[in-house]
Amino acid sequence: MTSPVIMAGFPTVHRGALDDGRRWCALETGYRCELHAGVFAQVAYIAGEECAGISIPTGNVQMPDLNHWLDWLFSLNPALQRIEVLIAGKVPHTAGSEITRVDFYQRASVWYRGNNGGSFPLQWVENHVGLRHPLRPEPVDGEVYRRHFYSLGMDFSLRSLDPESDLMLFTGWMNQRRVARFWQEEGDCDKQKRYIETVIQDPHKYPLMACFDDMPFGYFEVYWAYEDRIAPHCDAQLFDRGAHLLVGDRRFLGSQFTRAWFNGVSHFLFLDDSRTQTLVGEPRADHVAMLRYFDGMFGWQKIREFEFPHKRAALVLCQRGRFFQSMGGV
């Protein structure tokens, strides 16, 4: 019998399966992973090491067959930074044979469902206050991001907010005392409808519903920082992004969920435009629970505090390079 494998944030297990049903089992020196019917890969990995190897017994394996396995392996082993892929009959160390954590999680096609991904051309426009800025792509309807979190055994996804079907749920969330304390937008459906319409009509904002296994649990209002009120406080660059966040469904409060959605929405914002180098935030300085996640997690850090007209805020930042070095592990 093989020794059990201890994986950070995961139970001690010998075997299991991906969310798509493909099986794996733990070995003393790594894992045995099913690529497709009757074809298994051997993964050589020792806990805590920065490098792993995947041995593929056949050349009839395409990179999409490996994407779920790479995500699974990086997620289970936070120390892992690179994976070498060895395919039978092929010369080792050819182009693409080594996959780093940083590069893998920037492959937008695996998780991203939006309409940008950095391909939207740079065109200059002027907003209502005379600020020249890049023309932003029109937000799309429907799902824009999906990723499976193995620590939860659940899919996290982001979709556009529907001003009709989501109105009642959104109104209920805004009127929760703990939400109203920080958002200060409590009111009836008519008020919330006006609020949503204002966000939709603002070209620098994009209202999103956050879901676990397609069940909405929160509202994420993402924005382009260059055109936002935070710009003078953070020296915002043209493609910096930020988000205002709330968790409305109390069942999804708690650190295990927060780590997942916090990682997921940050990932989406970097994938949504490859030119985005920095994420910014301005939570209330007295929002202690939220600041615990912003300060030191996934490359985020609190920089300082400053005064807005309506609140004392904490400036928090996340650089692209630091974020992708810590991707996975949740």
Active site residues: 282
For helices 167-174 and 189-201, the axis angle rounded to 10 degrees is 110
The residues facing 313 across adjacent strands are 284, 306
| Alpha carbon 32 to chain centroid, angstroms | 28
313: left (phi over 0), alpha (psi -120 to 50) or beta: beta
297: left (phi over 0), alpha (psi -120 to 50) or beta: beta
The residues facing 124 across adjacent strands are 134
Distance CA 65, CA 41 (A): 11
Distance CA 174, CA 284 (A): 17
Query: Quick one: which H or E segment has residue 217?
Result: strand 215-224
Q: How far lies 99's CA from each of 20, 107, 147, 202, 248, in Å?
A: 22, 11, 19, 39, 38
- What is the phi/psi pair of residue 307, to 5°? -105, 125
